[in-house]
Amino acid sequence: MTAMKKLLEDIGLEPERLEMYNLSSSEGVRWRNDILEMLERVRKLGPNPLRNKETVTS
C-alpha cells in the first residue's frame, strides 16, 4: 500500500484515493463506517481527474 500510494503521488493522483481496510464478513457496522469514511474523503478530493478523459488502455 505504501508503494502504491507513493506511485499515485508520483504520477499526479492523490494517494488518499487509495486505501485498504481489513475486516471480516461479520463486521457489518465497521464495514459501513469504513465506506462512509472513504466516501467523505473522496467527496473532499473531488472527481477523479481522469474521469472525463478517454479510457486508459494498454
Q: How far is the CB of 27 from another protein (least distance, A)?
A: 30
Tell me how far CA of residue 33 lies from CA of 5, 14, 23, 27, 37, in angstroms. Answer: 22, 22, 12, 10, 6
Q: Pick the stretch among 5-13, 15-23, 24-32, 33-41 that binds another protein (CB under 8 A).
A: 5-13
Q: Pick the stretch among 8-16, 23-31, 34-42 that binds another protein (CB under 8 A).
A: 8-16
Cβ contacts of residue 40 below 8 Å, gap of 6+? Answer: none
Nearer to another protein, 20 or 29 (CB): 20
Residue 12 binding another protein, by CB under 8 A? yes
